[in-house]
Amino acid sequence: MQTLILNGSPRKNGDTAQLLQHLRKHLTGEIIEISAYYDNISPCIDCRRCKKTGICVIPDKMQDIYNTIETCDNIIIASPIYFSELTGRLLDVASRLQTYYYGMQKNGGHPVKKSKRGAVILVGGGEGDAQIAYDTAVRILHYMKAKEVYPLICSHRTDEIPAAEDEKVLDEIRKAADFLQL
Ligand SMILES: Cc1cc2nc3c(=O)[nH]c(=O)nc-3n(C[C@H](O)[C@H](O)[C@H](O)COP(=O)(O)O)c2cc1C
């Protein structure tokens, strides 16, 4: 069982990190975590080379992620909510999935062979609602062929209660881990 985690938080021990630590306790197998802030992944520059070749030419860590997207069983998107969305840095990483968009246009089918399961873990101080960020995350997961996605998990009162103390969310994460390992 291989799980890819895309972490959109800049806080190394913040709310997202705490929830991911909890998730790790319940997940077996290999876990590969990518930091949208610290892994130096360039955004898509819309050079359109992938439109012709199906391959992204930017030589950075995203190349490893493309390989992991091929092989993994699960993908988790975990992020703080910023202005009701995923963080900008995480959207930058997601923009590199444009190569799959062109791949789908060209082949009719999905360029990633193996279907995956997905889950979305969000945290927010308490402003607005989490639906926009969740919908974006689900779209991004679909781009990576994570078709079956667990319902929204969101600790949305972190200004008052740290996510690590949000018992309902901790329980949901345990259930999501069961879903991912079915
Ligand atoms: C620039 C910025 C924008 C934010 N926008 C929202 C928002 O729209 N809704 C919300 O509930 N919280 C918002 N927050 C609060 C964070 O989502 C919240 O503090 C979260 O727990 C931080 O997670 P982290 O510790 O994993 O980074 C925002 C925080 C920042 C820095």
Q: How confident is the model at residue 182 (pLDDT cuts 50, 70, 90)?
A: confident
Backbone angles phi, psi at 148, to 5 degrees: -90, 115
Query: What is the DSSP secondary-structure string of 44-74?
Result: P----HHHHHS-----STHHHHHHHHHH-SE
What's the mean pLDDT when you consider all of the chain? 97
Name all domains of the chain by residue range, CATH numbers in brackets.
2-180 (3.40.50.360)
157 lines ligand 1 (CB under 6 A): no
Q: What is the pLDDT of residue 105?
A: 87
82 lines ligand 1 (CB under 6 A): yes
Quick check: pTM over 0.95? yes
Q: What single letter denotes the amino acid at residue 142?
A: H
Select from 134, 158, 161 the residue to mutate for testing ligand 1; criterion: most ligand atoms less than 8 Å from CB. Answer: 158
* 43-83 tens-digit pLDDT: 999 999 999 999 999 999 999 999 999 999 999 999 999 99
